[in-house]
């Protein structure tokens, strides 16, 4: 009976090890490269994390921008159909939008990881409200072919958004 019990314990231990190894591989395997209108999304710089902020094209709030901040720094002004990649040091980060209401998103960034954050424009009292929410690789990948990287202040669509109003 002792040998039978040892075999059971060994079988359980091997199954648990296989499950753990399979899970590690599934987490590490990110899938095929993601291609947008602007090119292929790269990996984060070694030892850094990266956050991909994106705003899918939609009719809701199309004339408004989603301005993303960290501390007192403006990181991106995302019009409809735009995305922007931010390199971040590992650790805690607070990203936010402000305007009619302030929306905040806390992220714990890990080295060599990519995070996806979706910006939606919701209904407000006087203007639209920008909302940041955690997303995932698959959601971004499904929208990627319709997205263009925000080019900073020189972005022609950004100037158009400034004239129409901003949901900062």
Find the CATH number of the domain harbouring 79: 2.60.40.1120
- Same-domain check for residues 26 and 40: no
A 10 A CB-CB count for 111 gives 14
Residues 20 and 49 in one domain: no
26 plus 57 within the same structural domain: no
Are 85 and 15 contained in the same domain?
no
Q: Are 142 and 32 in contact (CB under 8 A)?
A: no
Please tell me the pTM assigned to this model.
Answer: 0.71
pLDDT tens per residue across all 168 residues of the chain: 555 444 444 343 333 333 333 322 222 336 789 999 999 999 999 999 999 999 987 554 445 678 999 998 999 999 889 999 999 999 999 999 987 778 899 999 999 999 999 998 876 555 567 889 999 999 999 999 999 999 886 665 554 444 344 443
- Do 44 and 84 share a domain, yes or no? yes
Same domain, 47 and 15: no
Chain mean position to CA 150: 14
Q: At which residue do the structure tokens 């159909």 appear?
A: 81
Residue 30 confidence (pLDDT): 66
Residues 138 and 55 grouped into a single domain: yes
The structural domain count of the chain equals 2
Q: Indicate if 22 and 44 belong to the same structural domain.
A: no
Is 144 found in the same domain as 66? yes
Alpha-carbon dihedral sign for residues 112, 93, 107, 50: negative
pLDDT of residue 76: 92
Range of the domain at 21: 1-30
Spatial distance between the Cα atoms of 67 and 161, rounded to a whole number of angstroms:
11
Helix (H, G, I), strand (E, B) or coil at 168: coil
Closest CA to 79 of 51, 54, 46: 54
């Amino acid at each position: 009976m002792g040998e039978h019990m040892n075999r059971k314990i060994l079988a359980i231990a091997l199954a648990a090890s296989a499950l753990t190894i399979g899970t590690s591989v599934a987490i590490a395997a990110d899938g095929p490269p993601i291609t947008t209108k602007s090119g292929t999304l790269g990996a984060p710089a070694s030892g850094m994390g990266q956050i991909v902020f994106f705003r899918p094209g939609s009719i809701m709030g199309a004339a408004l921008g989603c301005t993303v901040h960290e501390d007192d720094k403006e990181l991106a002004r995302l019009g409809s159909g735009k995305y922007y990649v931010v390199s971040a040091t590992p650790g805690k980060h607070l990203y936010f939008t402000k305007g009619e209401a302030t929306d905040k998103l806390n992220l714990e960034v890990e080295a060599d990881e990519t995070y996806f954050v979706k910006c939606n424009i919701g209904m407000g009292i006087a203007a639209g409200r920008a909302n940041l929410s955690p997303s995932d690789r698959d959601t971004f990948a499904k929208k990627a072919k319709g997205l263009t990287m925000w080019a900073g202040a020189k972005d022609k669509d950004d100037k158009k958004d400034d004239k129409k109003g901003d949901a900062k």
